[in-house]
């Protein structure tokens, strides 16, 4: 017993994998999975932002975003897509048939936020009431 120190391993057994090696392998696997999930999430965000830019530019079918080279686009520090608007602009210039042609007609007016309410007789002045009553009589006589 005095001949063998306590720190030596018996010669007939090999050192086995300890719990530390198993944990390291698991940590490495989780880190690679986390990086893959992060990459896929960034890609989804970039596609969503490009869809918004394409809708603003008047793209007819958003499935046409498959023509876009996503390697030129990346997420900025603030979460916005850097170069997205420029990329859609280039696509619009190179493939104009994918977008709605510009209209030469005038822009439609924005509707009022709430319908116009007629003024009640109790809210009118005497002069306004007299004019409104005369208009009603005139319309009913026709």
Those residues whose C-beta lies under 8 Å from the C-beta of residue 44, and which sit 6 or more positions away, are none
pLDDT of residue 125 exceeding 90, the answer is yes
Residue 21's pLDDT band (cuts 50, 70, 90):
confident
- What tokens were used for 42? 């960034």
CA geometry: angle at 128 spanning 124 and 131, to 5°?
Answer: 140
The confidence band for 6, taking pLDDT boundaries of 50, 70 and 90, is low
Mean pLDDT over 112-136 rounds to: 87
Decide: pTM greater than 0.75. Answer: no
Average pLDDT over residues 85-99: 84
Under the banding of pLDDT at 50, 70 and 90, the label for residue 77 is confident
Tokens of 88: 């859609």
């Amino acid at each position: 017993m005095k001949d063998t120190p306590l720190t030596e391993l018996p010669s007939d057994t090999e050192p086995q994998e300890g719990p530390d090696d198993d944990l390291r392998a698991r940590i490495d696997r989780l880190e690679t999975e986390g990086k893959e999930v992060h990459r896929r999430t960034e890609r989804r965000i970039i596609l969503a932002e490009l869809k918004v830019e394409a809708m603003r530019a008047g793209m007819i079918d958003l499935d046409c975003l498959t023509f876009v080279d996503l390697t030129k686009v990346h997420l900025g520090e603030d979460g916005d897509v850097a170069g997205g608007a420029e990329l859609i602009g280039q696509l619009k210039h190179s493939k104009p048939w994918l977008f709605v042609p510009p209209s030469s007609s005038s822009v439609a007016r924005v509707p009022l936020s709430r319908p116009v309410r007629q003024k009640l007789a109790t809210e009118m002045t005497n002069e306004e009431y007299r004019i409104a009553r005369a208009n009603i009589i005139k319309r009913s006589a026709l």
